[in-house]
Structure 1
C-alpha cells in the first residue's frame, strides 16, 4: 500500500490552491465589481476595500440605467428571460430529435450512416457567418425572421450535433445483449428503447443536455443578426451597457453575475450526472 509523505500532501494542497485561485480569481473580481460604481472600479491603484452598492443590480432589474448623458432604458431582464426560454426550448427540441437519432446511429448500421452522422457534426464546426446570410434571406421569405421559432430552429445547428454525437457514444457502450434479451421476452422496439436504453444512457443524456444548454446560452452571433431587441438573449442585450458616455463597467459586471447564475446553478444541480456521464463516456471497450 502506497503512503503519501506529509511534504507531498502539503505540496499537493498548495498546487490545488494555486489552481483554484487562478481560475476563480476572474469570477471573484467580477463579483466584487458588480457592487462598485464606475469611479471605484476605475481608480488607480485598484483596491478590494470599497463601499458596496446595489445600484448596478437595481438598474438592471428596473431597466433604468443612469449615465452621464441621462437615463437609458434597458431590457436586461427581458433579455435574461429570452436566454432562458431559447436555451431551454432549443435543448428540449434537440433532445427530442437527437436522442432517437443517436440511438439509430449507435445501434443500426445502414448504408451511409457514418457519412450522415459526420455531415451533421460538420454543422457544429462550420463558422456561423457561413450560414447567416442565406439563413437571413430564407427566414425573411418564409416569415421566421425575428421569431422565437426561427431562433430555436437555428440553435439546432449548435445543440443537435452536440447531443447526437455525445449520446451516440453512450448507446454504443450499452451491451446490445441486454436489449436483445428484453426483445425476446416479447417487448416492442419502442418499449425496449424507452425502458432499457434510455434509463441506461440517462447520465450521458443529462450531460449532453447540460453542455448543449451552456452552448446555446452563450451563443451571440445568431441572435444578433436574426432577432430584434425584444427577442435577443442576454449575450446580445449586454451591448446596451456600451453607451455614448462610456462603458458602464459596474452594470456589465452585475449583468455577468446574473447571466451566469442560471447555468452555474444548473451545473451545481446536475454535477453528479455530468461527472458520471462524462466518466462513462470516456471508457470504451
Structure 2
C-alpha cells in the first residue's frame, strides 16, 4: 500500500510539473506574440522607409531595399520642398532650450517646495501640476493671439517659452520628491560649517540628486521633442519642428509615405542617443525617488 501511495504521489507531482511547464510555455508564447504585435509598427516604418517610390504601393514585403528616402530627407530635402534638416535643428534648439530653462527655474523651485511648507503650498503645487494635465487645445487660441501681438509667432523664443507648460511642471514635481528624500541634516551641517543657504543648495543638495536630474531631463526632453500641438499652431516655417515637418511629405497629389517613415525614424535618434548617454544615471535616477506629496 505504501508503494502504491508513493506511486500515486509521484504521478500527481509529475502531472503538476507538466501543467506548470505548459503554463510557463503558454505565458512565454503570449509574451512573444505581444512583443511582436507591439514591435510591428516600428518594423513597418522601417520597411516603408526602405521602399523605393515605384514599389511603395505595389508590394508589401518583397521589394528592392534602398536608402534613397534617407538621402532625400537628410541631404536633398529642399528638392522636395520640405527642409527637414532645418526642422531637425529647430527641434534640437527648442527642446534643449526648453529643458535648460526649466532646469534653471525648476530645480530651485523644487528644492524650495520640498524644504519649506506654508499655508496653500499644496494648492500652489497642484495648480502648477494642472498646467501639465490641461489639454493644450484649451490655451492654444489665446496663446496664438498673444504670440501674434508680441511678435513671438514662429520664433525660437516663443517655442521655448510655451514649452515651459510641458517641461516645467514635470521637473518641479519629480525633483521635489528627490529633494524631499534627502536628509535635511546634511544641509544643516553645511550651514553650521559656514555655508550659506545658496551654497548648501549648489554644493550639497544638487550633487546628491544628479541621477534624478539626468532622469527628469531625459523625460522633459522627450516630452518637448514629441510635442505636436504647439509647433503646429504657433510656428509656420522658421521654427517648425520635426513632429510637424515630417507630415509635410504627406502633402501633394501622391503622399510620400517612404519619406515620412524615414523622417520619423531619423527624428527618434536624438532621444535615443541621449538615453544611451545618460543610461548609468538614468537607471539609478528612476529608482532613487518616488513622486509623492
Change (3 A) 1:37 1:169: same
- More divergent stretch after superposition (25-34 vs 169-178): 25-34
Selected match of 2:97 from 89, 103, 108: 89
Selected match of 2:65 from 28, 52, 62: 52
Deviations 1:19-63 (A, max 9, x none): 54343332233123211124434235x21x431112111211233
Equivalent residue for 1:184? 192
Deviations 1:183-227 (A, max 9, x none): 112211111111111111111111111000000000111111111
Counterpart mapping for 1:83-232 below 5 A: 83-232=91-240
Equivalent residue for 1:68? none
Which 5+ residue runs of structure 1 have no aligned equivalent? 66-70
Shift of 1:72: 3.3
Shift of 1:136: 1.5
What is the TM-score normalised by the length of structure 2?
0.86
Shift of 1:173: 0.8
What is the distance in 2 between the residues matched to 1:195 and 1:11? 54
Partner of 1:246: helix, strand, or coil?
coil
Cα RMSD of the aligned pairs, angstroms, is: 2.4
Larger Rg: 2
Change (3 A) 1:276 1:283: farther
What is the distance in 2 between the residues matched to 1:26 and 1:239? 17
What is the distance in 2 between the residues matched to 1:81 and 1:283? 33
- More divergent stretch after superposition (266-275 vs 219-228): 266-275
What is the distance in 2 between the residues matched to 1:236 and 1:226? 11
Deviations 1:238-285 (A, max 9, x none): 22111222221110110011001111111122233222111112398x
What is the TM-score normalised by the length of structure 1?
0.88
Equivalent residue for 1:30? 45
Please tell me whether the aligned partners of residues 155 and 238 of structure 2 are also in contact (alpha carbons under 8 angstroms). Answer: no
What is the distance in 1 between the residues matched to 2:209 and 2:25? 40
Please tell me whether the aligned partners of residues 110 and 172 of structure 2 are also in contact (alpha carbons under 8 angstroms). Answer: yes
Shift of 1:13: 6.1
Deviations 1:53-84 (A, max 9, x none): 1211121123347xxxxx63111000011011
What is the distance in 1 between the residues matched to 2:179 and 2:268? 31
Deviations 1:75-119 (A, max 9, x none): 100001101110000000000000100000011112321111111
What is the distance in 2 between the residues matched to 1:116 and 1:222? 25
Q: Name whichever structure is richer in strand by fraction.
A: 1
